[in-house]
């Protein structure tokens, strides 16, 4: 990917897209195309076709998606399936029609079977039942991966796919009902400190284990894959380490300075018991995560934009 190449970052205002934009700019890439969702609705087939015909991007990072945590997936299953199918279908198809040299599609670790062996290897995809609480989103992401593989097989397109683990970082979603577990806990504990609350409630039993990757590490991995990988198999992106939700809550408790009690609400869903990615393929390509979890959470909590993000949530 030449430094002057015309690069389209789809979803540049989201957490992943904005991190990727920062990484590309830091790497000296300046010919970057972006559109807000108001300027270009990626669910609109005709609008996406017109955009590709006018702009002719050479490389595409497809990070745009409807995302959310367990509650959002349970509440809006139709939108999670419909919107994501449209977004990925339109962008991937138009990338083929307009001769995009290479495309990177981002899936998600939730595409794997609920009870997949741990750590999860790429070949475990479609070997078992999905976690019901995020099945619509997972089905859409699996379809995106299969689209990349199908266009590669039928038309020889250099379309690759990667599957990141749970993410956190700048521009995260801190909505208490629709966010993922780490930002939701960060907001709960921060609010509890501000209000001098005596207790913080954590959904579930605290026993499930999750892997967390700072979004700046993800962006670096995406650029690495775009430059150094061109295979048909999707590649896991993660740290190779996990932590229980209970220990995560206690870590965030220490970082925020909350001195009260933590109460686990076992009536709320736990989701998948464990989700740890095998990242040996990515490591073999010369990339490893560099931001430790505690350091990453501290850096997010210290952001000057923190208060604004909470208000917007």
Residue 33 CA: distances (Å) to CA of 41, 57, 66, 89: 15, 8, 20, 19
pLDDT at 73: 80
Q: Is 204 annotated as a binding residue?
A: no
Active-site residue, selected from the candidate residues 8, 29, 96, 137: 137
| Residue 29 annotated as catalytic | no
Contact indicator for 215, 16 with CB cutoff of 8 Å: yes
Is 304 annotated to bind a ligand? Reply is no
- The verdict on whether residue 248 carries a ligand-binding annotation is no
How do residues 119-159 score in pLDDT, each as one tens digit?
999 999 999 999 888 899 999 999 999 999 999 999 999 99
- Residue 260 annotated in ligand binding: no
Beta carbons within 8 Å of 264's beta carbon, 6+ residues apart: 201, 202, 203, 204, 205, 206, 246
Can you tell me the distance from the alpha carbon of 102 to that of 58, in angstroms, rounded to the nearest whole number?
7
Please report the pLDDT score of residue 30 as a whole number.
92
Contact 252, 187 (CB under 8 A): no
Q: Between 3.40.50.720, 3.40.47.10, 1.10.10.10, 3.40.30.10, what CATH number should domain 7-171+212-241+276-291 receive?
A: 3.40.50.720
User: Stretch 214-231: mean pLDDT, rounded?
Assistant: 98
Q: 245 and 180 in contact (C-beta within 8 Å)?
A: no
Is 56 marked as a binding-site residue?
Answer: no
pLDDT tens digits, one per residue of 10-45: 999 999 999 999 999 999 999 999 999 999 999 999
pLDDT tens per residue across span 102-130: 999 999 998 999 889 999 999 999 999 99
Beta strands in the chain (DSSP E): 7-10, 32-33, 59-62, 102-106, 159-164, 166-168, 199-203, 209-210, 212-214, 235-237, 243-244, 261-265, 274-275
| Ranges of each domain in the chain | 7-171+212-241+276-291
31 known member of a binding site: no
């Amino acid at each position: 990917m030449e430094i002057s190449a015309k690069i389209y970052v789809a979803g540049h205002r989201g957490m992943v897209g904005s991190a990727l934009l920062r990484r590309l700019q830091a790497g000296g890439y300046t010919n970057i195309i972006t559109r807000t969702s108001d300027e270009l609705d990626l669910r609109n087939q005709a609008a996406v076709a017109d955009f590709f015909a006018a702009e002719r991007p050479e490389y595409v990072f497809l990070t745009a998606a409807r995302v959310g945590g367990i509650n959002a997936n349970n509440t809006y299953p139709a939108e999670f399936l419909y919107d994501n199918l449209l977004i990925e279908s339109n962008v991937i198809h138009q990338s083929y029609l307009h001769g995009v040299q290479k495309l990177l599609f981002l899936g998600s670790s939730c595409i794997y079977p609920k009870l997949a062996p741990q750590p999860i290897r790429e070949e475990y995809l479609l070997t078992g039942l999905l976690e019901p609480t995020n099945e619509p989103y997972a089905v859409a992401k699996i379809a995106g991966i299969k689209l990349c593989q199908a266009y590669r097989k039928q038309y020889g397109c250099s379309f690759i796919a990667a599957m990141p683990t749970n993410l956190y970082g700048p521009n995260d979603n801190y909505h208490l009902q629709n966010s993922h577990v780490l930002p939701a806990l960060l907001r709960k504990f921060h609010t509890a400190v501000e209000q001098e609350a005596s207790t913080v409630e954590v959904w579930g039993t605290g026993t499930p284990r999750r892997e967390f990757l700072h979004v700046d590490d993800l962006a670096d991995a995406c650029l690495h894959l775009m430059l150094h990988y061109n295979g048909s198999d999707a590649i896991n992106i993660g740290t190779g380490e996990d932590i229980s939700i209970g220990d995560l809550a206690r870590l965030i408790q220490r970082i925020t300075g909350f001195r009260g009690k933590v109460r686990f609400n076992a009536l709320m869903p736990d989701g998948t018991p464990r989700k740890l990615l095998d990242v040996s393929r990515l490591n073999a390509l010369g990339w490893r995560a560099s931001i430790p979890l505690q350091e990453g959470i501290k850096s997010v909590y210290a952001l000057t934009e923190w208060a604004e993000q909470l208000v917007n949530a």
